[in-house]
């Protein structure tokens, strides 16, 4: 391809709305162009890389994941979303329209419903399972604040696979095939991926893994173990860490006390800092007690303190308390992880109680909530009690009376947990529960996600098959997604310098560019000859035949990020410059060997990115 026949459209400066490297570079290099808020057109240069990326996913999903491509429509009937129940719960992210028959339509934000409806239609027998289908298709989510270009656009391309399995064993197999495919895909793209166990959130079900890249603009905070053999990484919402001992201000482990706990008047002591000053002791000696309002807990708390005051609602999917309360005890230097707490309480949400609620359920205001006086169940973190052993001794806690604390508190002696669980937020500096290494944290950006959905959709959408036992059986499901645009942007984000993009060979729009200083005479002849040789060898070459100054051509090719440049100039002939985009300096090679050397370079770079 010659630049004169191509659509090269570079910009010196990125529009000011672009703040991250990939967004700036995609606009400057002419990879994408904005059509509306959160809506980006791929220009021809972008389409070339995009399709390479899509084909890598396709190859691995066809091969490694043993999946088959299908193609549902982008616009789907609202009815199937009503069947699954997500018509209401998906909220304003869904772009809805009414067709001329006043029927509700949805621009697909994801395709669990479409897959389920389609496969349900032809499903009779266990012999037809598993079904393993994927699409690479347009999706739309009406993000409140689209930003960072295609990194968080409204319309986007998603590669989404779905499996319908006869049983959990089969689902495990499908899940593992996809997991393997994911690692191969990201390897081939040259992306260093952090696989993390994630909270599966609104998607429902359990058993899930996120594939993240480190990114300063990431939505998620990751807790990462630096020990490569261990490899533990988790979203902060789920991360566990090793217990560390409670120690006093002198670094000594406190001894169990035989003294009974005792009220201490503590005027003007409200915060942990106030307590540190007043008691002249480390917060590791204090028990923090917090009252939480708990939404939609499906735990059966019959008999628990205060439970007789909560309304329990009957529901075919499981009875629940719309509102209940819990008193969480944790060592005072630690933070409660609300996602873990909600999971422990089988609740949809937990919220710190308001002043009035605290008063009602603790008998005292915030700061004086006491383990021994709580009027709702005690949820005790492993930092206080673990495996029926007290982890703190001779501790100080709230008294349940405003203006007073208690000292000489002995967990297990003075109070017992209603639930004893890990509800602590792991953080940088905590130790890995698997290997003991010290965690660090990074912001992460999710590129892919695999889930075990279970029966969520097959139940709500009434899918059954005749099992081997001859009985109607509900299949289980898995889903597997990769954000295609976001992955492309992440490749740029991690492969660039101040001059532009540095494409990995596997997704470069062109593999080699040839820049004649002047496309005339001998320079033209030499450039054309190298171009022909490379083209014949199946290498994707861009020959810059424009009548521009060499500086302009170099700058464009560097901005566009083609991995190898061959420069043909009078001064160097019969040699030409051979310059990998990632190298600091060019090398002179005889023009007659340049094509062969370029072919070898391309092959070697591709081999580095091989998943084999």
User: Binding residues for its own copies, per CB under 8 A?
Assistant: 5-7, 9, 30, 33, 35-37, 39-44, 46-47, 50, 66, 68-77, 79-80, 92, 95-97, 99-101, 103, 105, 107, 114, 117-118, 121-122, 131, 133, 137-138, 140, 142, 144, 154-155
Is residue 139 packed enough to be buried (19+ CB in 10 Å), middle (13-18) or exposed (0-12)? buried
Pick the closer one to its own copies by CB: 109 or 504.
109
Is residue 16 packed enough to be buried (19+ CB in 10 Å), middle (13-18) or exposed (0-12)? exposed
Nearest-angstrom CA–CA distance, 6 and 68: 34
Pick the closer one to its own copies by CB: 140 or 601.
140
Pick the closer one to its own copies by CB: 441 or 464.
464
Residue with the two structure tokens 């018509």: 87
Q: How far is the CB of 108 from its own copies (least distance, A)?
A: 10
Q: How far is the CB of 534 from its own copies (least distance, A)?
A: 18
Pick the closer one to its own copies by CB: 124 or 252.
124
Nearest-angstrom CA–CA distance, 308 and 322: 14
Pick the closer one to its own copies by CB: 9 or 441.
9
Q: How far is the CB of 188 from its own copies (least distance, A)?
A: 21
CA angle 171, 172, 178 (to 5 degrees): 90
Q: How far is the CB of 128 from its own copies (least distance, A)?
A: 8
Nearest-angstrom CA–CA distance, 489 and 149: 9
Is residue 271 packed enough to be buried (19+ CB in 10 Å), middle (13-18) or exposed (0-12)? exposed
Nearest-angstrom CA–CA distance, 166 and 150: 37
Q: Are 441 and 224 in contact (CB under 8 A)?
A: yes
Residue with the two structure tokens 């000011």: 16
Pick the closer one to its own copies by CB: 45 or 222.
45
| Residues paired with 224 in a beta bridge | 233, 440
Nearest-angstrom CA–CA distance, 327 and 323: 14
Q: How far is the CB of 194 from its own copies (least distance, A)?
A: 30
Pick the closer one to its own copies by CB: 114 or 397.
114
Pick the closer one to its own copies by CB: 35 or 260.
35
Q: How far is the CB of 41 from its own copies (least distance, A)?
A: 4
Pick the closer one to its own copies by CB: 30 or 195.
30
Q: How far is the CB of 346 from its own copies (least distance, A)?
A: 31
| Cα 555 → chain centroid | 35
Q: How far is the CB of 470 from its own copies (least distance, A)?
A: 18
Nearest-angstrom CA–CA distance, 339 and 345: 10
Pick the closer one to its own copies by CB: 138 or 535.
138
| Residues paired with 512 in a beta bridge | 541, 564
Q: How far is the CB of 38 from its own copies (least distance, A)?
A: 9
Pick the closer one to its own copies by CB: 5 or 311.
5
Pick the closer one to its own copies by CB: 76 or 263.
76
Task: Output the CA torsion 317→322→328→332 (10° steps).
Answer: 110
Q: How far is the CB of 315 from its own copies (least distance, A)?
A: 30
Pick the closer one to its own copies by CB: 88 or 121.
121
Nearest-angstrom CA–CA distance, 319 and 555: 65
Judged by phi (left if over 0) then psi (alpha if -120 to 50, else beta), residue 492 lies in alpha
Q: How far is the CB of 154 from its own copies (least distance, A)?
A: 7
Q: How far is the CB of 479 from its own copies (least distance, A)?
A: 17
- Dihedrals phi, psi of 137, to nearest 5 degrees: -150, 170
Angstrom CA distances, 507 to 41, 187, 576, 578, stand at 18, 12, 26, 21
Q: What is the rounded end-to-end Cα distance, in angstroms, of the chain? A: 31
Q: How far is the CB of 529 from its own copies (least distance, A)?
A: 23
Q: 176, 169, 159, 211: which is closest to 65 by C-alpha?
A: 176
Q: Are 78 and 105 in contact (CB under 8 A)?
A: yes
Residue with the two structure tokens 């393997």: 180
Nearest-angstrom CA–CA distance, 567 and 517: 7
């Amino acid at each position: 391809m010659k630049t004169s026949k191509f659509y090269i459209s570079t910009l010196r400066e990125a529009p000011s709305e672009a703040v991250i490297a990939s967004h700036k570079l995609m606009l400057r290099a002419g990879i994408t162009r904005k059509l509306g808020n959160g809506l980006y057109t791929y220009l021809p240069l972008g389409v070339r890389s995009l399709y390479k990326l899509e084909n890598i996913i396709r190859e691995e999903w066809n091969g490694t994941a043993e999946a088959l491509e299908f193609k549902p429509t982008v616009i789907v009937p609202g009815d199937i979303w009503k069947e699954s129940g997500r018509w209401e719960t998906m909220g304003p992210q869904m772009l809805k329209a009414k067709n001329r028959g006043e029927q509700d339509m949805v621009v697909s934000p994801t395709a669990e419903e479409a897959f389920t409806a389609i496969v349900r239609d032809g499903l009779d027998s266990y012999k037809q399972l598993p079904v393993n289908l994927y699409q690479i298709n347009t999706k739309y989510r009406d993000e409140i604040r689209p930003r960072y270009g295609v990194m968080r656009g409204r319309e986007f391309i998603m590669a989404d696979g779905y499996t319908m399995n006869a049983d959990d064993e089969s689902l495990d197999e499908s899940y593992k095939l996809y997991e393997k495919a994911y690692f191969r895909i990201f390897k081939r793209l040259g992306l260093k991926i952090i696989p993390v166990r994630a909270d599966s959130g609104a998607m429902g079900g359990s058993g899930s893994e996120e594939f993240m890249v480190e990114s300063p603009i990431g939505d998620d905070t990751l807790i990462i173990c630096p020990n490569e053999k261990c490899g533990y990484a988790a979203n902060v919402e789920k991360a566990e860490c090793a217990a560390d001992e409670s120690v006093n201000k002198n670094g000594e482990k406190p001894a169990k006390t035989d003294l009974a706990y005792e009220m201490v008047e503590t005027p003007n002591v409200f915060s942990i800092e106030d307590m540190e000053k007043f008691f002249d002791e480390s917060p590791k000696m204090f028990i923090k007690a917090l009252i939480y309002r708990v939404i939609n807990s499906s735990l059966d708390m019959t008999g628990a303190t205060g439970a007789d005051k909560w309304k329990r609602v009957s529901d075919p999917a499981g009875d629940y308390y719309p509102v209940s309360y819990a008193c969480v005890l944790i060592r005072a230097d630690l933070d409660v992880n609300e996602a873990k707490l909600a999971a422990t309480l089988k609740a949809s949400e937990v919220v710190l109680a308001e002043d009035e609620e605290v008063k009602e359920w603790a008998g005292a205001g915030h700061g004086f909530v006491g383990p021994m006086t709580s009027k709702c169940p005690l949820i005790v973190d492993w930092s206080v009690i673990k495996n029926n052993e007290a982890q703190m001794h001779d501790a100080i806690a709230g008294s349940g009376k405003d203006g007073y604390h208690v000292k000489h508190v002995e967990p297990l002696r003075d109070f017992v947990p209603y639930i004893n669980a890990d509800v602590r937020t792991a953080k940088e500096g905590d130790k890995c529960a698997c290997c003991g290494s010290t965690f660090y944290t990074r912001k992460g950006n999710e590129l892919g996600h695999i889930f075990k959905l279970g029966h969520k959709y097959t139940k709500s959408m009434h899918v059954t098959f005749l099992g081997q036992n001859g009985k109607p059986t509900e299949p289980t499901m898995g889903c597997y997604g990769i954000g295609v645009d976001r992955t492309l942007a992440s490749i740029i984000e991690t492969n660039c310098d101040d001059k532009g993009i540095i494409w990995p060979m596997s997704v470069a729009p062109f593999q080699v560019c040839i820049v004649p200083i002047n496309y005339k005479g001998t320079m033209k002849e030499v450039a054309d000859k190298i171009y022909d040789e490379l083209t014949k060898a199946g290498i994707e070459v861009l020959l810059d035949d424009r009548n521009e100054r060499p500086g302009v051509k170099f700058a464009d090719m560097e901005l566009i990020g083609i991995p190898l440049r061959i420069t043909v100039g009078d001064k160097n002939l019969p040699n030409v410059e051979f310059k990998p985009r990632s190298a600091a300096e060019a090398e002179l090679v005889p023009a007659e060997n340049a094509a062969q050397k370029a072919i070898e370079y391309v092959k070697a770079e591709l081999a580095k990115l091989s998943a084999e």
